[in-house]
Chains A and B, each alone.
Chain A
């Protein structure tokens, strides 16, 4: 069974550009969450999608957005990139996303560098 797949693995952009990251969850999983990991702030929750609807959102500016497709694949977009957006972006999937007892499966992440 394939794991959570994130593409691309590495990305280099310049300030002001926009970027789209992709996440394919484990087959059958309907919940996809996104996290930002930086050395200074650690792991921070961005948003969660379930059945194409955003269910939770973290404390990030509107430049960060996402969506989920009918096949549960998800994309996140960051517009007008800033240097501080350089981070490892992790995607996690689970079957239903409801409640706190469900195991999350994480992808290897997309390493974004903003120059």
Chain B
């Protein structure tokens, strides 16, 4: 079945440092890929997405490129802020599934220190 693997946290960075959170996937079909973010006490919010190979999703300074050859979708940001502290989830949705079934990675907690 489909699966998503992302690096374990927590990841602790100083403000303005560069961020990379690794994400790899296994899927039988042609999935769309997503990054969701969860702030303390809240539900998940879509951060960015990519629907086909070589697509780059971007939002709020975060970027991720859909790499079919390495089955990866790593999240990057050039300069993190304290407000970026949250848990980040990589997820996929397989086009073979009707409806909105997402398969999530285990989540990576990011802590940014001033």
Contact = CB atoms under 8 A, between A and B. Distances in A.
Q: What interface size band does chain A fall in?
A: 20 to 34
**Chain B interface residue count: which class?**
20 to 34
Contacts of B94: 100
Interface stretch (B12-20, B36-44, B63-71, B76-84): B36-44
A102 B101 contact: no
Contact of A33 (B51, B100, B104): B100
Contacts of B101: 33, 45, 48, 56, 58
A31 B43 contact: no
A31 B104 CA distance: 19
Given A56-B97, A100-B31, A101-B32, A42 B105 contact: yes
9 contacts: A48-B101, A56-B97, A56-B101, A90-B44, A94-B100, A98-B99, A99-B95, A100-B32, A100-B100
Given A48-B100, A104-B100, 4 more contacts: A31-B99, A56-B100, A100-B32, A107-B43
